Amino acid sequence: MVQILLLALAVGLSCVESSQISGDWDTIALSADNKEKIEEGGPLRVYFRQIDCNADCSEITFRLYVKLNGECKESTVVASQSLGGLYTVQFAGQNTFVIVDKQEDTITFFNTNVDENGLVTRGYVVVGKRDSLTPEETLSFEEANEVKGIPQENIEYLAGTDDCPE
């Protein structure tokens, strides 16, 4: 039931206006069923800087950093929306994601990544215009992860870990 509600919410949020998404954003939290992908040095430990979408948000451009071998590497990737509100983008493999929640100062994405070896990793990315979640948001985030089978120990809160350039 919860998954059906999340899907309905995601499809409804696929019509979010460009002005609600475009702007400067920082990564607040990550989760993954394959934790090594989001740990320090992992290919999916992303530090967002900016998100821009075109007029109808059928394309979203992300400017972000990944820190590999101690070095921050900037990337700009463009995701394209397909029917049903799903977005796809090539980044550390093939990614398919939906926007599952949009608040004034946070956006939550649910992503499925398939790397070059075929390993599937599912998880959440929360970006914000602040560096942490409220206690209520943290509880809700942990519950959403539990529903997806992602254990609490596979959640990374990134406040204070981002030393990549602005």
The CATH number that applies at residue 87 is 2.40.128.20
Q: What average pLDDT does the segment 7-29 reach?
A: 68
pLDDT of residue 112: 98
What is the overall mean pLDDT for the chain?
A: 90
Q: What average pLDDT does the segment 28-46 reach?
A: 97
Q: What average pLDDT does the segment 91-111 reach?
A: 96
In a domain? residue 44: yes
Q: What average pLDDT does the segment 147-164 reach?
A: 95
| 78 Cβ neighbours under 8 A, 6+ residues apart | 59, 60, 61, 62, 89
pLDDT of residue 134: 96
Structural domain count of the chain: 1
Dist. CA 108–CA 114, nearest whole Å = 20
The domain of 47 spans: 20-157
pLDDT of residue 14: 45
CA–CA–CA angle 45, 140, 15 (5° rounding): 75
pLDDT of residue 17: 60
